[in-house]
Structure formats: C-alpha cells, structure tokens
C-alpha cells in the first residue's frame, strides 16, 4: 500500500493554495530586497554628505506607493488587465473542474465539484476586487 500515493490522490488539490502561499512569500522576499536596496542607495548619499536628487526620492516613493495596495493587480493602475486575467483564469479553472466532475473522467465527481466551487468563489472575489477595489486617480 502506497501511503504517499494515496495521500496525494486524496489531497492533490491542496497544491493550489500551497502554491499561492509560496508565491506570496517569494513576492514578500523580493519586496524586502527592493526596500533594502533603496535604503542602501539613500545611505550612500547620506554618507557622502550629499543630498539625494529629488527625482530619485520621488521615484523611490512612487514605487513604494505602488507595491501592493490590493492583491489582484498590485495597486498598479497602469497594469489594467491583471484583475481581469485572474477572474478569467479562476473562472476557466472552475469550469474545467466542473466539466471533469460532470463527465466523471477521474472518477471522484464530488471532489471535482468541490474544487470547482472553491475556484468559482475565488473568481467572484477577484471580480469584486477588480470592480470595487480602490483605484488611484
């Protein structure tokens, strides 16, 4: 009896939320590295006794303001389509899992419908976030 295979067969769908946690952690690490690099640049100017250029400070502040107000599009108004992308992605995945559950290709229709419902709720959440999320003017 293969316990890992049985465990994977029963809980394979947990790979999706686990992947989102890993990606979120990686994005946080990269944001930390960018912030650390900004501080180093400002430290270098301070140690040399020079005032950093206003354009540099403005660029650092504007980049910091854009780095993640709400998740679907990272707070970037110019990106425009990433919220729509997430809605279409999760709605499509939900439809695929619902179809596989309906057709019975993989046998366990209850799990397929359950995953389809979760992905459908995520699609609706991203749709609401895209429509009603705060935008910068």
- Total-model pTM: 0.47
Per-residue H/E/C for the chain: CCHHHHHHHHHHHHHHHHHHHHHHHHHHHHHHHHHHHHHHHHHHHHHCCCCCCHHHHHHHHHHHHHCCCCHHHCCCHHHCCHHHHHHHHHHHHHHHHHHHHHHCCCCCHHHHHHHHHHHHHHHHHHHHHHHHCCCCC
**Is residue 67's pLDDT more than 60?**
no
Q: Is residue 70 predicted with pLDDT exceeding 70? A: no
pLDDT digits (tens, 9 = 90+) for 11-27: 777 788 888 889 989 99
Given this model, what pLDDT does residue 65 score? 56
Q: What is the pLDDT of residue 135?
A: 60
Query: What confidence tens digit (pLDDT) does each residue in 75-106 have?
Result: 444 445 667 888 898 899 899 999 988 988 87
């Amino acid at each position: 009896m293969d316990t890992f295979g049985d465990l994977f067969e029963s809980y394979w769908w947990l790979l999706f939320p686990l992947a989102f946690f890993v990606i979120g952690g990686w994005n946080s690490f990269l944001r930390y590295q960018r912030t650390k690099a900004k501080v180093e640049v400002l430290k270098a100017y301070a140690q040399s006794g020079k005032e950093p250029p206003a354009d540099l400070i403005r660029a650092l502040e504007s980049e910091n303001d854009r780095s993640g107000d709400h998740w679907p599009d990272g707070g970037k108004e110019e990106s425009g389509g990433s919220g729509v992308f997430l809605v279409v992605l999760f709605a499509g995945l939900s439809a695929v899992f619902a179809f596989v559950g309906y057709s019975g290709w993989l046998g366990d229709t209850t799990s397929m419908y359950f995953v389809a419902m979760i992905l459908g709720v995520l699609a609706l959440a991203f749709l609401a976030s895209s429509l009603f999320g705060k935008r910068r003017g």
